[in-house]
Amino acid sequence: MAFVDLCGSTRFMLRCSAQEMRRLADELFVAAQRVADAHGASVVKYLGDGVVLLASDPDAALEAACRLVGELKGRTPLRASAGVAHGRVLAHAGDFLGPAVNLASRLAEIAQPDEVLVDAEAWPKALALGSPREVSPRGLRAGWRVRAIGVQ
């Protein structure tokens, strides 16, 4: 599960025109669809200023999130960040829920622009990625172990 979010979108949308807001949403939509398709992931939700990606292979979700963060940097006036988590996900009533969904969302909230935070606690393979960090995701305990991957 990956959450990809455009950083600073609220400030941007407060000062931009309706046409600029539409262009931003269109660029996000097109880039997300293309990247998800190319990496074996699916866009399961649009959030206005972000997207939720789902893949059965956690490596595919991570690759798609990293690629999309990079793509958005070149396609929009805003930079993006992402959170990626691996674990249980339940599809219910047209939405997705579960620990991996919540954690990916919380990691995206605290990731810096051009950064992907990967849950290193439930996904041991992530320990070989990026640089180690401990974070305090909203609603979760302090000291959560993640790996931070900078995206060019």
Encode pLDDT of 121-136 as tens digits. Answer: 877 777 788 899 999 9
Q: For the whole model, what pTM was predicted?
A: 0.93
- pLDDT for 130: 87
Sequence-distant (6+) residues with CB within 8 A of 147 are 117, 118, 120, 126, 127, 129, 130, 131, 132, 133
Q: What is the DSSP string of the chain?
A: -EEEEETTHHHHHHHS-HHHHHHHHHHHHHHHHHHHHHTT-EEEEE-SSEEEEE-SSHHHHHHHHHHHHHHHHHHSSS-EEEEE--S--EEETTEEESHHHHHHHHHHHHPPTTEEEEESSS-GGGGGSSEEEEE--TTS-S-EEEEEEE--
Q: What confidence category does residue 31 fall into, taking pLDDT thresholds of 50, 70 and 90?
A: very high
Domains and CATH numbers, the chain: 2-150 (3.30.70.1230)
